[in-house]
Amino acid sequence: MNTPENTTTKIDGRPETPETEGYTNASETPAAETNPANPEETITRLQTLIDQQKDQTLRDRADLENTRKRLQREKEEAVRYANTRLLETLLPILDNFELGMMEARRGGEGSAVLIGMSMVQKQLESFLTENGLQPIEATGQKFDPNLHEALGEEPSTEVPEGQVIRVQRKGYKLRDRLLRPASVFVSKGNA
């Protein structure tokens, strides 16, 4: 039973109880949602609403799970390729270092400068390999526009048409992603 302190009178004269609080007229009360004359119809309608809510809940859960997985993949990829900018900046330095090595070799194989530079080169290559940088092998390979940038074609009797004759600038991959294509000259066969 409702006591006087639990009831108030609404504008339409009906008492407002905690069960009907917030409803403004009789058609909005929970009792008005059920039709006692046809309970099967009411059950069918309510079962349809339940099924719709279950379906929506399943869709929302799937969307949430897909979003969670996508964010996890993006996070892993960001960590995996975090050094991309640094390595891109190091590539021209590595190119110049290799040019210096070629000049040092011209001075003689036993020179102290060549030995020191060789040691530094090994350390640098080891560091880059540990961070996922891989040089692209090009000389003698079939030209691949996904890995190579053709600077031109040259006639050749030794190298078959469509294969790389020489590399102008080394190309690199960072794990499975192309960082810089190899700049190459391609054979156009026997001219």
Higher pLDDT, 91 or 11: 91
82-104 pLDDT per residue, tens: 888 888 888 998 898 888 888 88
Residue 191: band (very low, low, confident or very high) from pLDDT cuts 50, 70, 90: low
- pLDDT tens sequence across 18-42: 554 544 444 444 544 555 678 899 9
pLDDT for the residue 46: 94
- Looking at per-residue confidence, does 32 or 164 come out higher? 164
Give the tokens for residue 176: 């499975």
pLDDT band at 77 (very low <50, low <70, confident <90, very high): confident
N-term to C-term CA, the chain: 107
**Residue 166, helix vs strand vs coil:** strand
Residue 29 and residue 10: Cα distance in Å, rounded? 14
pLDDT tier for residue 14 given thresholds of 50, 70 and 90 = low
SS3 of 153, please? strand
Q: According to the model, what pLDDT value does residue 28 have?
A: 45
CA distances from 178 to 145, 146, 165, 166 (A): 12, 8, 21, 20
Q: What is the pTM of this model?
A: 0.59
Question: What pLDDT shows up at residue 23?
Answer: 46
In this predicted model, what pLDDT tens digit does every residue of 140-160 receive, in sequence order?
Answer: 899 999 999 999 999 988 989
